[in-house]
Structure 1
Amino acid sequence: MRIITRTISYTTSDGVTLKSHFACPADTPHELSGVLVAPEWWGLSEHAKKSAERLAEAGYAALAMDLYGDAQLTDDASVASANMNALLDAPEKLEERTRLALETLQAQPEVNALNLGAIGFCFGGKVVLDMARRGEPLKAVTSFHGLLTPAAPAIEGMVKGELLIENGTDDPLVPPEMLEAFIAEMDKAKVEYHIDNFPNVRHGFTNPQATANGVKNNFDALHYDEEAAKTSWQNMLNLLERKL
């Protein structure tokens, strides 16, 4: 399927210009279902942008979010960690940036503003899960190797859609106790969710650059897994097809 892409810029209340990557099918009617894409802690990477484009090829309108401003991107883990933690330490800024991204996606002429989902990778997995916890109108949310600890725990009736967790069993950033706490949180809030655990799979498994980034940063927890990446992507598409 032929797709079109464009950069969409918008500005936060404190003057940060966010430059997100939009993709949609080129020859389709309006009223496409919209999907947000939240990137890993590296920033607005090729992986995030390509994910938006793959969603467009599957028939959706997708917006890969710039969360740091000016489409910042790094492959230095210390810089990525500092950028991520700066937002986690200022939750009001992170919430505003995700809300602006959602409103921007809804405002695109190709998009049905009432039919929305979100996916996220690593830090972005936490971002989209927290959006769901806050009650954003997302019918389907997928976290790939995402951090599962909540900004604020889910409350019964707040989560509007179904959650899908694609997780590697050997991911040290998502230890068993984090997964157990997530399950308890979701069960208490009566959230519809599903977890796929991939045996012997480490963090960042969907990103083809994960292994190289791990070597560069002396962090062997990062490792691309082609089979898990392929299967988890199809699991996500199945969820979108059912919900959107």
Structure 2
Amino acid sequence: MTDLPATHEELLARIPIPDGARLEASPITYGHDGTELEGYVAHDAAADEPLPGILIVPDWLGVGPNAELRAQMLARLGYVAFVADVYGAGVRPTSDEAPSVVGAFYRDLGLMRARVQAAYETLAELPQVDDSRIVVIGYCFGGTAALEFARTGADIRGVVSFHGRLLTHDPSDAAAIRGKVLILNGGADPSAPDSDVSAFQDELRSVPSIDWQVNTYSGAPHAFTVPGDRFRPVADARSWRAQLDFFDEVLA
């Protein structure tokens, strides 16, 4: 298993390792259109049947401790968790570098969606995964990317965005969304102001068949689930619980 910073280990320790589990986590190499990508997969190797898959699209720092933490947490709960590499193998920007790196994907939503698609296909092909039960989740930039992927008509059970930007489209392609939608936002997040939330909900309302929810957590800033200065333990715990309840529903 990957070593995590102490702050992340504290969160991981809240989820006990099941008796008899043999947890494994490691990098995994795959590709998209000539670009080498290196994701990260965590799962219980002792499982005797295929497990539901959770595709995690990381924040703008890419594959690293924040997403690996969540993958290990989900592996302890009986999921195969795969962290997508949107940027490319070896592209792991610092906080100062991330805006310019992520900006290229906001300017090319087709590429953003395609990189998530490549990760989805890799996850679905893993022998330990039940490819009929997959949910895509994302954090910050990853939340936006997860929602964009859902707009491709992907055959997924659901999509979860943690403090992601909520982009609307004109003309709308929301009718392509097949999975259920869960949005988990901070009430003090300037990246998801009330105007964006309202516009996003209006777009979803235009397609009555979409099953969607939006949860807002009071006082929570952007990146409230990320250990550090902006971490808000109550909002993190509530949003995590909401996600697990969502999984129980859509993966049943």
Name the TM-score, length of structure 2 as normaliser. 0.87
Shift of 1:70: 1.4
1:155 Cα shift?
Answer: 3.2
Choose from 182, 187, 196 the match for 2:200: 182
Contact in 2 for aligned 1:126/1:147 (Cα 8 Å): yes
Give the CA deviation at 1:138.
1.4
Matched, 1:231 2:238: yes
Alignment match, 1:218: none
1:7 aligns to what? 27
Query: In the TM superposition, what is the alpha-carbon distance from 1:76 to its structure 2 partner?
Result: 2.1
Displacement of 1:131? 1.1
Contact map agreement 2:168 2:199 (CA 8 A) in 1: no
Q: Could you list the runs of 5+ residues in structure 2 that have no partner in the other structure? A: 1-17
Partners of 1:155 and 1:129 in 2: CA distance: 10
Structure 1 position 71, deviation (Å): 4.5
Could you tell me which of 52, 63, 87 is aligned with 2:105?
87
Identical columns (%): 29
1:161 maps to 179
Question: Using the alignment, how far apart are the partners of 2:44 and 2:242 within structure 1?
Answer: 21
Task: Check conservation: 2:36, 2:88, Cα contact below 8 A.
Answer: yes
Q: In structure 2, the residue corresponding to 1:19 is in which secondary structure?
A: strand
Residue identity matched to 1:48: A
1:73 aligns with 92
Match of 2:58 among 20, 39, 54: 39
Q: What's the secondary structure of 1:52's corresponding residue?
A: helix
**Aligned partners of 2:70, 2:41: CA distance in 1, in Å?**
11
| Equivalent position of 1:25 in the other structure | 44
Corresponding position of 1:215: none
Match of 1:61 among 74, 77, 80: 80
Q: Quote the RMSD (CA, aligned, Å).
A: 1.4
1:130 matched residue in structure 2 = 148
Query: Which stretches of structure 1, 4 residues or more, deviate above 6 A after TM superposition?
Result: none
2:212 counterpart of 1:205: no
Does the aligned pair in 1 maintain the 2:157–2:250 contact within 8 Å? yes
Name structure 1 gaps, 5 residues minimum: 212-222
Say if 1:30 and 1:109, in contact at 8 Å, map to a contact too.
no
Q: Matches of 1:71 and 1:101 in 2, distance apart?
A: 16
